[in-house]
Amino acid sequence: MTANSKTEAPLVGVIMGSRSDWDTMSHAVRTLEALGVPYEARVVSAHRTPDLLFDYAEAAVGRGLQVIIAGAGGAAHLPGMCAAKTRLPVLGVPVQSKAFNGLDSLLSIVQMPAGIPVGTLAVGVAGATNAALLAASMLATRDPALAERLEAYRSAQTSKVLDDAPLTLPP
Ligand code: RP5
C-alpha cells in the first residue's frame, strides 16, 4: 500500500447523522483505509446541526473533496440535503433503523426528485462497504495507482471465495 489514507488531504468525506451510525459507517472507513483512499469522517446531522451540514456541503468542493458518502437512519434526510448543497457525487447509505429495519432510511434516501441525485446503496454494512468501493471506483478513473489497488482488492476477494473449502453435508 503506497497511499496513506489518514495523513493525505481527504478526497472522500464520510458523514453520518449520529454517532450511533458509526457501527455501520465504520465499514466505509475501513474499506477506504484498505484501499489507501484519503478520507475524513464526521458526524453532521441534517436535523440537529443543519447549519453545519450546509457549511460542510458548501465548502466541500473548495476543500478538495471529490466524493461524499452520507449515512443516516430513520427520516434520513442527510444525503439528499447534502446533495442539494453540493455538485459533488453523494453516495447515500441507509442505516438500519430500529423501527422499520432500515426500510424508512432506504425510502428517505432513494426517492429523490429529478434534478438532485443521490447514489443510494444497500441498507446497512453492505451499503457502507459498497459506498466506499464505489467512491474508490470513481476516483480510480483518474488515479492509476488506486485503480491497481482496487483491482488487487477485487482479485483477493475472488480468490478467497474460490479457495474456500467445498461445502460438505453435516454428519
Ligand atoms: C438519524 O437518526 C441518524 O442518522 C441515526 O441513524 C438516527 C438515530 O439517531 P440517534 O437518536 O441514535 O442519535 O438522524
Question: For the chain, which residues make up each domain, given as ranges?
Answer: 12-163
- Comparing CA positions, the residue from 116, 151, 157 lying closest to residue 136 is 151
ipTM field? 0.96
Mean pLDDT, rounded, for 148-171? 91
pTM of the model: 0.94
Q: Considering the chain, what percentage of its residues have pLDDT values greater than 70?
A: 98
State the closest ligand 1 atom to the C-alpha of 45, by its place in the atom list counted from 1: 14
Mean pLDDT, rounded, for 88-98? 98
- Comparing CA positions, the residue from 99, 138, 93 lying closest to residue 118 is 93
- Helical H runs in 85-143? 103-110, 125-140
| Residue 44 banded pLDDT, cuts 50, 70, 90 | very high
Q: 15, 19, 20, 45: which to mutate for ligand 1, most atoms within 8 A of CB? A: 20
| Residue 4 banded pLDDT, cuts 50, 70, 90 | low
Give 31 Cα–ligand 1 centroid separation in angstroms. Answer: 22
**Rounded Cα distance, 45 and 53, in Å:** 7
Non-local CB neighbours of 59 within 8 Å, separated by 6+ positions: none
Fold category of 12-163 in CATH = Rossmann fold (3.40.50)
In this model, does residue 1 exceed pLDDT 60? no
Pairing of strands 90-95, 119-120: parallel
